[in-house]
Each structure stands twice: as C-alpha cells, then as structure tokens.
Structure 1
Amino acid sequence: MLNKSKLYSRRKMIFNVTIPVLFSFEMLLSFSVVFFLLNTSTANPLYNNFVYSLFSAVLCPIILHAAYTVLYIMCGRYFTRSVKDNEWNYIKSKNLIHYTNHLSGDVVKENKVTGIIQLHGNSSFRSNYSMKRGESGDKFVWFHLCDERNENEPYFPSFKNAHLLENGPRTYKVIIPASELQRENVYIRPWDKAIVVKGNYEGRASIETSFNWFDDRKYYRHCIVPINAFFLMFYVSYRQLTGAAKDKKLKLNAAVD
C-alpha cells in the first residue's frame, strides 16, 4: 500500500501530465471541426456532416470539461481543505485581503481608532460552493492571499476568480495580518490559493475605500479567464446554483417557522 506522501506525489504527477493533454486534445478537436467544415465535399451526406460537427463541437468538449473537473476533485485540488505545515509557515507571515460591501460607518470609524475589526462569517451555500458538502453551511470568511511583490494587493488568480463577474467594485478593502489567525481555522482552495477562515474574524485590520479593481490599468490587462477556471466553470456554476436553491429553501423554512 502506498503511503500518503507517495500517493500524493503520484496524484500530482498524473495531474501535471493529464491536464495539458486534455487541453491540447480539446484544442485539436476544435481545429478539426473548422478544418472539416472548410473542406467538406458536397458529395458527403448532410446528416453525417451534422452528426460529426455536433459531436466534435459540443459533446467532446463537454466530456473533457467533466473529465477535467473529476480529475481536479480526485487529485484534491478543487475542494477547500485545511492548510498544511509548509503552507501555514508561508501564509502566517503574509497579509490577507477581504473585499466587502457590508461594513457600517460605525465599524469603519471604530477601526480608525482601535485598529480592530470584526468580520462575520458567511454561511451561504452559494458563497461556500468550494467547501465540501458537509461544511458548506458553516460560517466562513473568504480572503485573498497577498501578492508576493506587494503585500497590500491580492494574489490575482484568487481575486479574479472571486470578483471578475461582479457589476462593480466592492466598497471596502480589508487587510489583515495572517498571524492573527488560529491555524486550525484556516483553509486553502488549492487551485487559486484563496484563503478561508472558519467562523468569524476579530483582530487587527486596516480598511481602505480607494483601491485597485478590474477597471484599473494595474489589473485590466490580466482579465483573461484562466484555463483552470474555464474548464471548471460548469461545475462551479452547478455548485453555485444548487447552493442558491438551498439558501432560498432555508429562508422559506425560517419564514414559515
């Protein structure tokens, strides 16, 4: 039987080899469809052309997206998990960044005086779509790890995956030192390094109301959807939709009670 370290190494090797192969195969299929349509002889039956085109352009990419998602889950790279020793040793010396619209004026004023803030965890199934099913209903505060070159800016893949499709910037940017956290409450989402804190957060923080967003020159040129987010989008959308349905059901049940 493989020990955990060897099993992890083997999974990592499979992941690193298979993902480029899947992506290359999907690109090859897409180009084959274009080539086929441009070079189809009028002597070929229309039905066969349609079936081949439909399979290549629709069914194969869907199958590949599903395979990519399953591979992410099997290799432990999709669901949020507790941080490992080496990850925590790195994270605890960094800043974490949280964007929100839900701070009152009194909280902001008090923070200017005390330097302390309380952030309440979100128990929304939709927001916690990356948590494992048994944990999705617990309270969590989501953060972005800071950029390696600028401790007051977020690690961009995490920032982009969380906020790219929002209509406008959040109102507040909250920066906290990760050293304020208890390790047992800290989780990480492996595929974009988002940091999740279980429960509420109360501790040191600075609040900014003027900060970079996607429409700023600093980030504008980086707003291309990454490959991993592209392949995972169907499963992410499914988890968010089912999460939103659960949230709505809980609200209805609470109203009845």
Structure 2
Amino acid sequence: MTNPYLAALNTATKYPSIPTYHPLNPKNGGLLDETTTFTGDVILTEKVDGTNGRIVLFPDGDFFIGSREELLHARGDRVHNPALGIVEALEPLAARLQPRDEHRQILVFFLEVYGHKIGGAAKQYTGNGNVDYRLFDIACILPDVLDWDRAQISTWRDNGGQRFCNEATLQRAATAEGIEVTPRLATLDADALPAGIQETHDWLTAYLPATRVALDDTAGGQAEGIVLRTVDRSVIAKARFQDYARTLKRRANGR
C-alpha cells in the first residue's frame, strides 16, 4: 500500500490479536496449563469462523471497508478489491451507517463475514451458498493517530491504543444500526470459569454444542469456539474447540 495516508489508516484500524484462554505453547502449538485471568462478570459469545471484515466510518460519513489485513473498498469505488466477498457482504451496511460520535472520532465496526466459500468452515454454516455477518466489536480512533509513522501506530494498536466499546455501548450501537451481534451465550462470574484443559473442552461443549448462526438447515453446524470478555472489554480471550482437541490428543499420545 503505497499511499501513506491509506497505509496509516489500514494499520490503525486493524483488529488486534486475541490471546487464547490457555496460552499456546510456541514449541508445539499445544495449550499450556495456565489460564487468562478474569475478574467480575465475564460475557461468553460465539466465535464465528469466517473472515474478519471492518467498516471504517469517518465523522463526515465517508467509509472504507477492509479485510483483516488490507483496505478493500471506499465509498465511491475510490478503492475496490472484491477479495473474499467482504465488500459485497458489507457495502450495503456501510452505506447506511450514520456517524454518531460527538467527539469526531473514526469508528471501526469489526464484523465476522461467514458462509459460502468463506474459510475452511464454510459448510458448517451453509450448504446452500448463503453469506452473512455478525458484529463483534466497535473501536473509536482519534484522527491524529493517522499522522504518526506506521511503526508507532502498530505499537500503539498492539498495546491497547484503540478504544473499544463496552458491552452496553456495543449493544446500543448494534440496535440503533440494526446489526446482529455474535450470539451471547451466558454471563458468568469469573470464579465459575474452567481451569484445566479437559475441563475447558467439556465446558465448551456444554455451552456451545453447535453453532447458533447456521444460515440454513443444510449446514454442518459445528461451532468454532467461545470468546470470553469482561463487561468493559478490558480482558478478552478465545477458546477454540480445535486447540483443546489437539492438545488432549497430544497428551493422550504422551507428547
């Protein structure tokens, strides 16, 4: 991306990595025994297995649409890349979003686009070629950040510089804009969260035996996992079925 402004915007609005609930062992990809520390109420949401999309909304109503890694489209076709079907899925929503931030910040809507031919788990959500999206986060960014160099922006982003909406604000925005959010499964006290690897695998199965966002009756129905977050979103982690199944298999084989 040669345009410095677009490069800065892309860097500032990327979604930061979410750590796993049990940390990954860098040596073998298995899970370690310690867990992410949560306190207070913890909201459980379904982790949908598709592709990460984002809508970057400016105070004047201009917008960009991006994938996890790059900007794909801007209002008026100033930028256009049909990769992964993200633009086709999100452009109608982006065109009707209304700026709502009184402090003139840039809003970034993070959505999971999933379904037909999107990712390896597409058939778990549809057998009839359907595509949909679910909102999972909203961040606010001050325009001044775009004046920084990209290395500084990356460091700022990866160290929590983006200001994410808490659960109540996220729900209000979703309702106001008519956007469905990722399914809310439960709210638990942190003391009720599982600790061990086997315990967490069983816990995942109990709370999410099948996806709640299947798009038709021919979907396979297997869920990817659960995202855990505090109400204020100060702590967030993900727990994926495949990570626990892989770790348990490796341990059963003495590895």
TM-score by length of 2: 0.23
Higher-strand-fraction structure: 2
Determine which structure has more spread, i.e. the larger CA radius of gyration.
1
TM-score by length of 1: 0.23
Q: Which structure is higher in RCO with an 8 Å CA cutoff and minimum separation 6?
A: 2
